[in-house]
Amino acid sequence: MLVDLCGDIPAVLGMAEPVGPGVNDWLAENSTADADTLLRCGTTIENGLLVIHRGADIVEGTPRWALLAATLATLPAAVFVDAGTRIIGDDMSQRAQRNILVTKPCYLSLRRATFVRRPSHVVVVNESGRALTSKDVESVLAVPVIATIPADPAVSRAVDAGLFPARCVQLLGKHLPQM
């Protein structure tokens, strides 16, 4: 399961733009929605991956982070949450087995990363010509880099063509650690 808190996953995965409620609606302070309702906010795609859509642009009131964390913890499948640059509640962060930051070895990206909650691991998207290295990222953030993925135009082309889900393992599998 992939929970999309930012709303960019449908475009990356070549999905139709979802309509209707999503996780941000579920998180709303006055929502009474339960786990089944959350699951109905999703769409199943390639290889059985359930994508829970963002829904509303913002969460109304104080988000129900503790309830979301508890609900996701009860699910029998692995759950990944794409928070992008969004700050999530402590309840979510504390329950996560891993908090992985995906970044470029870039001064501005690392500067921003030092102002948010420290991740447990980092994946570096390595662009040619950058002065900073994965070792620099580890040094600045004081967390291990678990993968370095070369920036590859083939990935961009697959995203643009809506074929990324079908080609993800082929394009990135050799660079990612087994989780």
8: pLDDT strictly greater than 70: yes
Q: Which two tokens stand for residue 120?
A: 């447990």
31: pLDDT strictly greater than 90: yes
pLDDT tens sequence across 54-81 = 999 999 999 999 999 999 998 888 899 9
Q: Which two tokens stand for residue 38?
A: 């959350």
Q: Which two tokens stand for residue 15?
A: 């999905």
SS3 110: helix
What whole-number percentage of the chain has pLDDT above 90? 43
Q: pLDDT higher for 83 or 24?
A: 24
162: pLDDT strictly greater than 90: no
29: pLDDT strictly greater than 60: yes
Q: What is the mean pLDDT of residues 98-116?
A: 89
Please say whether the beta carbons of 35 and 1 come within 8 A: no
Q: What is the pLDDT of residue 177?
A: 67
